[in-house]
Amino acid sequence: MKKILIILTAIFVTSCSESFLDITPSSSTAVDNFYQTETQFTEAVNGAYASLRTIYSLGYVYEEMRSDNTHFTRNNNERMTSNTDREDVANFLVSSTNSIISDAWASCYSIIAGANTILDHIDKANLSDNFKKDIIGKAKFVRAFAYFELVRNFGRVPLQLHAVTSSADAFPAQAETNQVYDTIISDVKDAIDKLPTVSFPQDGSATKGAAKMLYAYVLLTKPEKDYVEAQKQLEDITKMKYDLLENYADVFNTSMKNSVEHIFSIQYMQGNYGMQSDWLYSFMPRSWDGNVLTGTTDANTSSTGGWNVPTDAMIASYEPGDKRLPVSVNYAVGTIDPEDGNMEIDGVLQPGDPSISESPNALPFVNKYHHTHNTAFNTDDNWPVYRYADALLLLAECLVDQQKNDEALPYVNQVRARAGLDPLTSVDADAVANERKHELAFENHRWYDLVRTGKALEVMTNYAAYIKSVDTGLTSRTYNITAQKLLFPIPYRELQINKKLTQNKGAAADE
């Protein structure tokens, strides 16, 4: 029958009848024709790294707002779930349907799927070993990075190490936490082997230094910590050509991206490429017209602003003269409309400015991502993931953990010196943690630092009392902090679909 049809088609329609029914998309790419050339693999890797941005669009919610660094200005007018879900994460009221955690979960696995597909295809590709090595290194780094994000937030998670091509492969059970860490370590070690050492100027790609940084974090976070190996990895980094920038503000300066201080950053670019960042518009106060602050037109943040707000206690915890405070936090001053909570912003002031107390209202905001840009909601800021100051302080932490406090001291003081602070004469774990808190404030480190160092319960319980005294809108159900709540619940949809999964006991507020 098929032959007759083909002959008829040849007679009546077209001479090349075989192809009449073979149509492939002309304006998009099908996988069958992809994963062959160097260009294609490079594009695939770029795609995988571009997907990292999905973690950082709301990462501040579960990495800063969940910690003692920041809270939020409640938007009493707009109680939609996209807002209340953020508050719930900050307030330890996470339900298994919370969209923030579902998105975090799905984003990480989407990144993993991208890496898996690359790794599944690269062996078969007829390309040079050198090229393959680079691609594998980058893919394994990003896969390890995403699994580390998952394991820290969800604990036991499914391990998906090959691209899913049919539904038969799509229903794995959870792996034990140790297994997940073993996989991460295996990937990150391979990435360290295969990735190039940084050379400047660098373009933002993953490097050996980034992989070592990730490895060190993994070693210090996993259930059986390996301080010796972590120390070695971090010391290797100090032997690369990284350095502290002279001026703390320059670390975040959008004209000095990927400098000698940056080990790994998520890359953003303003313009019409769909690659812009926009955290400023979430972090600044709600305002009908925030142009004074943003320097653009149309900066209406009445429904986007008010998140990740540094608490007064956090601001007060900076040592006097810490140059990092005015870089990290600024105040928007103006008048808040009591009825809708929006601020008419008159100006932006640095902490300590006496005019702050004179203006009718003043609201602090995270200033690290506040730079000149052309268009509202279209900023140029990168997200700093690993930087040299972080490496130094992590090394200090690692040394203190091994009771080598004296060895740790110079690293801490190196960082303090740039901040314009007097050197310490001795350090302990608290001193290192305190330095990390201020050096790396609002860079999504605080929560993981607290959990890694075993301080989360203690610090957050104290914080709960504080924040409830400041924010009277917090109900009695909030901040019911238990060890189980240091993990997120597995997303509800995932549990419904995959019956092999089990919930993290006690993690969900609505259990």
Partner 1 sequence: MKSEHSLLQRRSLENIFPYSAVRGLALILILLFVSSFSVYAQKRVTGNVRADDGQTLPGVSIVEKGATHNAAITDADGNYSIQVSGNDAVLSFTFIGYSTKEVPVGKASQINVIMKEESKVLNEVVVVSYGTQKKKDLTGSITTVKADNLSDMPVGQIGQKIQGEMPGVQINQSTGAPGQGMGFRIRGAFSILSSNSPLFVLDGLPISTSLNNINPDEVESFTVLKDAAATSLYGSRAANGVILITTKKAKSGKLQADLQVNYGVQTVKGMNEMNVMNAHEFAQYKKEFYEDSGQQVPDMYKNPDQYGEGTNWYKLLTRDAPTLDINLMLSGGTDKSMSTVILGYYKQNGVVLNSDFTRYSVRANNEFKLNNKVRIGVNIAPALQIYNNQNTDGYRQVLSAALIADPCQSPYEKDGSLKVSLDSPGMFGQPNWLRYIKGQLNNSRALSVIGNAFLNIDLFDGLTYKLQIGTDVGTSRNRSWIPSDVSGGLMSPPPNKATGSYSTAIYYNWNIENLLAYNKTFGKHTVGATVGYSAQKANSEWSNINGTDYPDDDISWLNAAATITGGSSSEEWTMASMLGRIDYNYKDRYLFQANIRYDGCSRFAPKHKYATFPSFSVGWIASEESFMKPLTKVMNYFKIRGSWGMTGNNSFGNYAYLSQLYKNNYALGGSLAQGKSLSNIGNNELTWEKNKQLNIGLDFGFFNDRIFITYDYYSRITDGLLYQTNIPWSSGFGEILGNVGRFDNWGHEINIESRNFVRDFKWKTSLNLTFARNKIKRLSTNNEPIGGEEVYSDWNRLQVGKPAGVFYGYVFDGVYMNQKEFDSQPKHASSQVGTARMKDIKPDGVINLDDRTIIGDPNPDMLFGITNQFSWKNFDLSIFLTGQVGGDVFLGSSDNEYNLDGVFNVNKEVKYRWRSVDNPGKGVVPSTATGTTEIYRLKNSRWVYDASHLVLKNITIGYNIPIKKNNYISKARVYVSGQQLFVWKSYPGLNPEINNTSENELSWQGLGVDMTTYPIPRIFTLGFKLTF
User: Is residue 505 close enough to count as binding partner 1 by CB under 8 A?
Assistant: no
User: Is residue 167 close enough to count as binding partner 1 by CB under 8 A?
Assistant: yes
Sole residue written with tokens 């912003």: 345
Is 113 or 432 the residue whose CB approaches partner 1 more closely? 113
Measured CA to CA, the distance from residue 268 to residue 49 in angstroms comes to 11
User: Is residue 77 close enough to count as binding partner 1 by CB under 8 A?
Assistant: yes
Binding test (CB under 8 A) with partner 1, winner from 38, 57, 106, 313:
106
User: Is residue 182 close enough to count as binding partner 1 by CB under 8 A?
Assistant: no
Binding test (CB under 8 A) with partner 1, winner from 15, 126, 130, 166:
166
DSSP string, 48-103: HHHTTHHHHHSHHIIIIITTTSEE----SS---HHHHHHHHHHTT---TT-HHHHH
Q: For 85, how many CA atoms within 13 A lie in the half-sphere containing its CB?
A: 15
Q: Which residues pair with 264 in a beta bridge?
A: 386
User: Is residue 124 close enough to count as binding partner 1 by CB under 8 A?
Assistant: no
User: Is residue 497 close enough to count as binding partner 1 by CB under 8 A?
Assistant: yes
DSSP code at position 225: -
Exposed e or buried b per residue across 369-390, where buried means at least 16 C-beta atoms within 10 angstroms of its C-beta: bbbebeebbbbbbbbbbbbbbb
Measured CA to CA, the distance from residue 302 to residue 288 in angstroms comes to 5
Binding test (CB under 8 A) with partner 1, winner from 477, 482, 502, 505:
477
User: Is residue 130 close enough to count as binding partner 1 by CB under 8 A?
Assistant: no
Binding test (CB under 8 A) with partner 1, winner from 70, 73, 116, 282:
116
User: Is residue 113 close enough to count as binding partner 1 by CB under 8 A?
Assistant: yes
- Burial class of residue 7 (count of CB atoms within 10 Å of its CB; 0-12, 13-18, 19+): exposed
- Burial class of residue 3 (count of CB atoms within 10 Å of its CB; 0-12, 13-18, 19+): exposed
Tell the smallest beta-carbon distance from residue 161 to partner 1 (Å): 11
User: Is residue 465 close enough to count as binding partner 1 by CB under 8 A?
Assistant: no
Binding test (CB under 8 A) with partner 1, winner from 125, 127, 356, 492:
492
Q: How many residues bind partner 1 (CB under 8 A)?
A: 103
Binding test (CB under 8 A) with partner 1, winner from 124, 126, 130, 201:
201
Measured CA to CA, the distance from residue 376 to residue 300 in angstroms comes to 8
User: Is residue 76 close enough to count as binding partner 1 by CB under 8 A?
Assistant: yes
User: Is residue 472 close enough to count as binding partner 1 by CB under 8 A?
Assistant: no
Is 78 or 182 the residue whose CB approaches partner 1 more closely? 78
User: Is residue 204 close enough to count as binding partner 1 by CB under 8 A?
Assistant: yes
Where in 253-282 is the site for partner 1 (CB under 8 A)? 257-258, 267-269, 272-275
